[in-house]
Structure 1
Amino acid sequence: MDTEPIVPPRTAGARPPRGLLTLWGVEMWERFSFYGMRAILVLFLAAPAESRGLGLAPHIAAAVFGMYGALVNLLALPGGWLADRLWGSYRAVVWGGVVIAAGHAVLAVPGGVAFAYTGLLLVAAGTGLLKPGISTMVGRLYDSEDGVDRTRGEDTARRDAGFSLFYMGISIGAFAAPLITGYLGERINWHAGFGAAAVGMLIGLVICVRGRGRLPDAPRAPVRTAPAADLRRMFLASGAAVVFLAVVFALCVLCGQSAADGVIQSVTLLTIAVPLVYFVVLFRTTGLDPVDRSRLGAYVWIFLAASVFWMIAEQGGSLISLFARDHVDRDLFGWEFPTSWFQSLGPLYSIVLATAFAALWLRLGSRQPSTAAKFSLGLFGLGVATLITAGAAAAADGGRVTPLWLIVAFFVQIMAEMCLSPTGLSVTTRLAPSRFANQIMSLWFLSVAMGSALSAQVVRLTTVWSPATYFAVLATAALLCSAGVALARKRLRHLMRGVT
């Protein structure tokens, strides 16, 4: 006789697990602080000194913005290692939040360049700690859940629903943040906007600490001791990265470049070198069977295509924001709304389109486009969105254009991102050899870092090209990359070895 207790249909599945609302609140406020600061960052960097900005040239301000984006994703690697091997996810999230709040607080002090760059480094380091840990904690809520039938897919359905709710918090925080920090920063004082971002992160920290009892073993998990060999490898890798940055920076300065250019060049080269080393090490691993080796080969092309996408898409928060400041008519019933409010369009479109795209792929089922086709569609959509921006720049011709140009451009860009970004995350998990699952997922985030770093380089072209020419060239690059992925889809399908 079966002696296992019968679980009534209610089970735990009638409501989310304890702790999900806590993590939802933490992530919403953390994203509020992140996107709130990001919405006004390039405007602050490029604002003249009389407006209490740093007075950087537009292409330098955009390059610093790109460097910040690269560091946020690059520092997720050591942050994830600390969470996995030493502190545990809860401590990584808490200390990451403390460092983020400290970074925003430093930015809120009108102390000039030194305070601004110190604050950016602190926010990037704290985000690198918090970002990997909090998603892991969401998954562990479902690992420890009782009363769920895992043999009938109930666990998977509930987990997917939980992550959907979790990411809705991200979108809400990202949508609301520019409306508040943008108004404070542009209409009152830049540092008031950064201060609002600090308050947002502090609220998230309070929610995390007060709700720690609802998180799985969060406050009781002991601090672990990593094996000596792992610690030695981590110290060697960190030391090598620091030496690499110092050498490249010194060479740039000796060649007559400014300190800012030296930082940009050194971080860009490091961001390119890290994934290159990752791929070399993975391919040279002994015992890797031919199928996994072939799938890694396919992932190289996916990584490069994603890097091109992010290189162009990330400029929506930098150069396009500066273009909106100077060349878009922002009059609303006689009142000029802040430039940074355009940064709320992306999250708003994401909230609306995410469910629609998920339903579309489910409806198409086995008839939905392949991974290569979705990547090609994403790059094509990005090319179209950038062409629209080029059209706006041409129509402005030194004057101002209707905001409808950017409203439509951001809508097309988010549609493109819906094709490429979730597909990239999904195919990363499916192409990864089981022994390298976490490392391959790190590579996906490194594609964002590499795209951000490359954007810091290409923005230099704005010093020799008009905005219309610059955006038209970027659009052409995206369309050519889209065509290349489409033409190579059969080859990619062969390399993927059954992963469609």
Structure 2
Amino acid sequence: MSDFNRQKIVSSVPQKGFFGHPKGLFTLFFTEFWERFSYYGMKAILLFYMYYEVTKGGLGLDQTTALSIVSIYGSLVYMSGIIGGWLADRIFGTSRAVFYGGILIMLGHIALAIPGNITFFFVSMVLIVLGTGLLKPNVSSVVGEIYSEEDSRRDSGFSIFYMGINLGGFISPLIVGAVQSHYGFHLGFACAAVGMFIGLLVFLLTKKKNLGLAGTIVANPLSPSEKKKVFSIIGLAVVIIAILVSIAIPTGYLTFKSFIALIGILGFLIPTIYFVVMYRSPKTTKVERSRIIAYIPLFLAAVMFWAIQEQGSTILANYADKRTQLDFAGIHISPAWFQSANPLFIIIFAPVFAWLWLKLGKRQPSIPKKFSLGLLFAGLSFLVILLPAYFGGANSLVNPLWLVLSYFIVVIGELCLSPVGLSATTKLAPAAFSAQTMSLWFLSNAAAQALNAQIVKFYTPATEMVYFGVIGGISILLGVILLIVSPVIQKYMKGVH
């Protein structure tokens, strides 16, 4: 997108109105709030739905298989953002991508809400994966569009936006978990569908007044001849994939194990290809190439961070269900409620961090140093959760406050890394690849969860201390290395702070 178009968009957005930020932040805040309400509400009970017995309303899958499926599903959700980013950049813009994505997500939750069998489950997964790929990276890109590049409110705005994400993530597990406990899984999933419907209404009713031209200008549009060629390639690819799958499944070449391995490879191969394509593109300037080089270690640090943080909905969710004392302080705790701990702490501390970065101004830590802090806290969160097994043994039920403490520590790391990463991505992105670079940021999460699908099978109560200790130790080591090399990375960022 040209500098002229960037300025044109900023000028069209009312710049005062939502906590001192552009009015468009209101629309994006509440659209993402309801989308995250639907996603995290569904995800809070998804693992239990898969491995609970059929008599308890679940699918009765093996627990290890269920853990891997949740990780693979999470990886595909973020991996599909590449498709959503490309469609927004080249065909219909970010605003339409957000709307189309919301519709697909809502249909996916409706499919989960229909009592059926595992076929309905996989249909819903496909719809939610595609829908989130369209919505998630593009709504964040629009946040970047409503600020000028020099606007000092930018990092603060992303922190407020990030608080909206987590406000939805906090409320939904409490509501969906309670509904699931009393009325079953399918009504819980129906609550998620309603949440996405409300999000779509907010977006449609307020975008014209609050967002102006944000999200409407296609950054790097295809020419008519290019469109024809691309659609032909896509159609051919779909046919080829369908044929290969129909052959591979009956012959035993495509199994769940081989599919996990394939996603693991794609999780790292796809971002590698994107880095190469953007770096070599004639549309990328010399300064932008330098910024791409700086972005690579930040991307790898994010992969390590998300590999720990995303286990909050797999390993730690299972830990809550199987290893935690759920009768505490006179109440019975639903294991799904622990999924609200992470977003609750972000709601509390996101404004503190937003204020802190504004207060420090030019004295705040550089972006690479903030990332290193994120890794240090993530590693510490895993070292903390191994202590109950050390003190009480692998078979005793654990006080729930240990689990809450682990979630709290990783949140401190998340606030150092995630909203800063969103903001840094919009700053470091080549102009011709703005939405796609945001998709690349979310691919760090895809790579992390693809990696998790491989390693979660090593977790058992017997290996608990080694599991948490090794992963936590690696994260702390990488955090120290990143801190040491941060001045070099900063030089390659060419003026971005």
TM-score range, shorter chain: 0.7 to 0.9
Return the match for 1:364 from 360, 363, 371: 360
Q: What amino acid does structure 1 have at the position aligned with 2:51? A: A
Pairing 1:49–2:69 present = no
Structure 1 pair 342–160 and aligned structure 2 pair: CA distance change class (3 A): same
What are the Cα deviations for residues 447-500 of structure 1, in whole angstroms up to 9, with x where unaligned? 111111111111122269622221112112212222332343344345445555
Call closer, same or farther: CA 1:119–1:497 in 2, change over 3 Å: same
3-state SS, counterpart of residue 400 of structure 1: coil
Aligned mates of 2:384, 2:286 — CA distance in 1? 44
Q: State the alpha-carbon separation in 2 of the partners of residues 242 and 413 from structure 1.
A: 43
1:313 is the counterpart of 2:309: yes
Query: Is the aligned partner of 1:388 residue 2:381?
Result: no
Are the counterparts in 2 of residues 249 and 266 from structure 1 also a CA contact under 8 Å? no
Letter in 1 for 2:167: I
Higher mean C-alpha displacement, 359-368 vs 243-252: 243-252
CA deviations 1:45-78 (Å, max 9, x no partner) are 1212222212222322121111121122122222
Give the Å deviation of 1:334. Answer: 3.2
Q: Does 1:483 align with 2:480?
A: yes
Q: How does 1:234-313 map to 2 (within 5 A)?
A: 236=233, 259-286=255-282, 292-313=288-309
Amino acid at match of 1:353: F
Equivalent of 1:404, from 385, 391, 401? 401
Could you report, residue by residue, the CA deviation over 1:347-398 in whole angstroms, capped at 9, with x for unpaired residues? 1111111122233333333433333322222111111101111223443521
Say which of 453, 464, 468 aligns to 1:467: 464
Look up the match of 2:9. Answer: none
Aligned to 1:55, the other structure's residue is in SS state coil
What is the deviation of 1:327?
A: 0.9
Q: Distance in 2 between matches of 1:469 and 1:242?
A: 45
Match of 2:77 in 1: 72
Cα RMSD of the aligned pairs, angstroms, is 3.5
Aligned to 2:425: 428
Counterparts of 1:276 and 1:305, CA distance in 2: 15
What amino acid is aligned across from residue 69 of structure 2 in structure 1?
A: V
Please name the residue that 1:214 is paired with: 209
- What is the SS of the residue equivalent to 2:398? coil
CA distance in 2, matches of 1:489, 1:159: 22
Q: C-alpha separation between the residues in 2 aligned to 1:377 and 1:272?
A: 24
CA contact (8 A) 2:94 2:142 kept: yes
Change beyond 3 A, Cα 1:372–1:252: farther
Aligned counterparts, 1:432-471, within 5 A = 432-462=429-459, 466-471=463-468
Q: Structure 1: which amino acid aligns with 2:313? A: G
Contact 1:100 1:123 in 2 (8 A): yes
Report the Cα offset of residue 286 of structure 1: 4.7
Match of 1:62 among 52, 57, 67: 67
Counterpart pick for 2:126 among 101, 106, 121:
121
Residue 17 (structure 2) aligns with: 15
Q: CA deviation at 1:437?
A: 3.9
Amino acid across the alignment from 1:442: S
Further displaced range: 118-127 or 386-395: 386-395
1:88-117 deviation line (CA, Å, top 9, x unaligned): 444333332221111111111221211111
1:87-236 alignment runs, 5 A limit: 87-137=92-142, 142=146, 156=151, 165-211=160-206, 214=209, 216=211, 227-230=224-227, 232-233=229-230, 236=233
Distance 1:291 1:89 in 2: 25
Offset of 1:258 from its aligned partner? Answer: 7.0
Work out the CA distance in 2 between the residues paired with 1:419 and 1:465: 33
Which position in structure 1 is the counterpart of 2:88? 83
How far did residue 399 of structure 1 move? 2.0
Distance 1:79 1:118 in 2: 19
Equivalent-residue separation in structure 1 for 2:242 and 2:473 (angstroms): 33
Distance in 2 separating the partners of 1:252 and 1:231: 32
Partner of 2:318: 322
Task: Report the AA paired with residue 413 of structure 1.
Answer: V
The match for 1:374 among 370, 377, 381 is 370
CA distance, structure 1, for counterparts of residue 242 and residue 346 of structure 2: 36
Residue identity opposite 2:463 in structure 1: S
Change in Cα spacing, 1:291 to 1:13, as seen in structure 2 (3 Å) is closer
For residues 349 and 413 of structure 1, the distance between their equivalents in structure 2, rounded to whole angstroms, comes to: 10
The structure with higher relative contact order (CA 8 Å, sep 6+) is: 2
User: What whole-Å deviation, never above 9, does each CA across 1:222-253 have from its counterpart, x for those lacking one?
Assistant: 99985331553465478658857986997798
Point out the more displaced range, 206-215 or 30-39.
206-215
Shift of 1:275: 0.9
Is the contact between residue 159 and residue 350 of structure 2 (CA under 8 Å) also seen in structure 1? no
* Letter of the 1:69 counterpart: G
Letter aligned with residue 410 of structure 1: Y
For structure 2, the 5+ residue unaligned runs are: 1-12
Q: Residue by residue, what CA displacement relative to the aligned partner does 1:284-340 show, whole Å, maximum 9, x if unpaired?
A: 335866654444333222212211211121111111100111111121443311001
User: CA 1:290–1:31 in structure 2 vs 1: closer, same or farther (change >3 Å)?
Assistant: closer
Q: Which of 22, 35, 43 is equivalent to 1:38?
A: 43
Could you say which residue in structure 2 is the equivalent of 1:4? none
The Cα offsets for residues 181-228 of structure 1, whole Å up to 9 and x where unpaired, read as: 01122343111211111111122233344446535579xx89998533
**Which residue of structure 2 lines up, in the alignment, with residue 6 of structure 1?**
none
Give the TM-score normalised by structure 1: 0.84
Is the CA contact (8 Å cut-off) linking 2:84 and 2:135 kept in structure 1? yes
Structure-2-length-normalised TM-score = 0.84
Q: Deviations over 1:4-52 (max 9, x none)?
A: xxxxxxx966634666545443322221111100111112112122222
1:151-193 deviations in whole A, cap 9, x for unaligned? 9x7xx36777765554433222111000000112234311121
Instruction: State the identity as a percent.
Output: 40
CA contact (8 A) 2:86 2:436 kept: no
Instruction: Write the letter of the residue equivalent to 2:72.
Output: M
Determine the C-alpha separation between the residues in 2 that align with 1:413 and 1:328. Answer: 19
Structure 1 range deviating more: 67-76 or 389-398: 389-398
CA distance in 1 between counterparts of 2:129 and 2:348 reads: 29
Equivalent residue in structure 1 for 2:413, among 397, 413, 416: 416
Cα distance between partner residues in 2 of 1:217 and 1:493: 34
Q: Is the 8 A contact 2:248 2:254 kept in 1?
A: no
Q: Could you say which residue in structure 1 is the equivalent of 2:6?
A: none
Distance 1:216 1:444, change over 3 A: closer
2:137–2:435 CA contact under 8 A, matched in 1: no
